[in-house]
Chain A
Amino acid sequence: MSSVTVKIPTPLRALTSGQSEVKIEGATVREVLQKMDSQFRGFGDRVLDEGKTVKRFINVFVNEDNIRDRKELETELKNGDTISILPSIAGGN
């Protein structure tokens, strides 16, 4: 079990009572996000697709690595890791 910091982007802070970061424990990204969902109602629905994968328009980084380039939700965590949840920004005329 590793102690990690989860960074919350502005659009999701309504779910975390305004907190921009949360300290939490977990061995994998999945475990951490599931705990976040238990702690903050509705968090999982905004970040995960039926609890199986990260939603298409959300990026999750462990330190500098996008988890899509690693083991997705099964990406393992070390003590002191930082998980950044970032909205995918796009648009156009």
Chain B
Amino acid sequence: MGKVILEMRNICKTFPGVRANHNVCIDLREGEVLALLGENGAGKSVLMSILDGFYQPDSGEIYIDGRQVRLTSPQAAIARGIGMIHQHFMLIPVFTALENIILGLELKGDPFLRREAYRSRVQEIIDRYGLAVDLDKRVADMSVGEQQRVEIVKTLFRSASILILDEPTAVLTPGESRDLFRVIKQFQADGKSVIFISHKMDELMEFSDRITILRQGEVITTFDTAQTSIKELASTMVGGDVQWAQNVHEKTAGDIRLRLEDVCIRDQREVEIVKHVSLEVRAGEILAVAGIDGNGQNELAEGILGLRHITGGRIYADGEDITNASVKSLLERGFGFVPPDRKSQGLVLDFSIRDNLLLEEMDRPAYSSRGFLRHREILRFAKELIGKFDIRPANPDALVKNCSGGNQQKVIVARVFSRRPRVLVAVNPVRGIDINATEFIHRRLLEQRKDGACIIVVSTDLDEVFSISDRIAVICQGELMGVCDAAAVTPEDIGLMMTGVRKEDASCG
């Protein structure tokens, strides 16, 4: 193994309320592929954005070839040979590949854009690494895989010797992924180093030299890939030694209230993102849908709630067919939804707490008559919910955008839960909020269960899944890997199933 060319020492980075990185140390050797593994929010992307000069660390040092450097901007990083391929590509869709690759280069000197003068130099890189890119094609007309190759060529053309790839295969087909790893092998052969972030364990095992695991902003350990196993990685990633909060499984489950039969959903691009999912959820039960982000779970939730067209299969509530029913009729039926993105889907940020609490209630005669709002009643209603759900500030007229994430989430939860939903779908209900608000919302969820609600919690966070659910359904690439009893399964097994191992093969109960 080559010499160490990059070192990050004691990197700390805090965002308001979130400790993204704490005393993180990693090192990278010449010609090596280093993988970063961790759950969502473990701090991998922030760490890489620091290395790319996009964020500045609060403290800590970065050394390249043994010399300390300050990476104050992405340009400073690329000048040191560090180039990052973001999950969201930094490309101009209406420009051709060639224009994107040479954009912003050599602005001083000859003012004219001589595309042809660059073409042979760019083509040389394309040929050397076998990156299939049509230089005259507009990026907007390209597949995601080809766009990624343009991004890679752009970075290489700026002489990057350390390449950072943030979940590069998340958007690729299996064939494109194989091609990408062939390209990465070629970098290695050229003495270039690669850091890549991935959730897909089989990829990590096959293509990386070492694997560094982060959890809650800290480096847990680094493995030599040759001397570890998927099982060890999974348990280290989710923290097998962590005591899972004990969920008292009161056997409250009643009749089957929601039934999904062979549900399929295709998205705008006609790609099937939910494939033949069949599930039953009972009254008084919490079913968790676990999975790595972007495996179709959000679309499934939207499908159940009438927000997305079901393209195959049926959904029944209390035995009645509600497939593709209108949102309004589902709300009247007692469906409730805690959406994945509170800021864009759950709240009107520029409204007050009171007005946000009112959104689903304003048609009730108690709060409006003949189209006019009854402010006194509404105020009483808002104050009651603020007290009951401990929303801070306890001022009904405070603007929601000025509340912390936890309190914003409480506003949504208060609004939805106060209607005593019969079927409740909550997507990542505690994402990005602090531990107290998390505990609070989880207690409320358990209360709803006790009241006999039928609850689906979609979550990417295994801690959450285990602390509140009765049963766990695991989804991977739109397919159900299996449904397990929460009391009879280990986080390791769920972790395995999240990466595409079926229940039968995961040896769980």
Bound pair: A and B? no
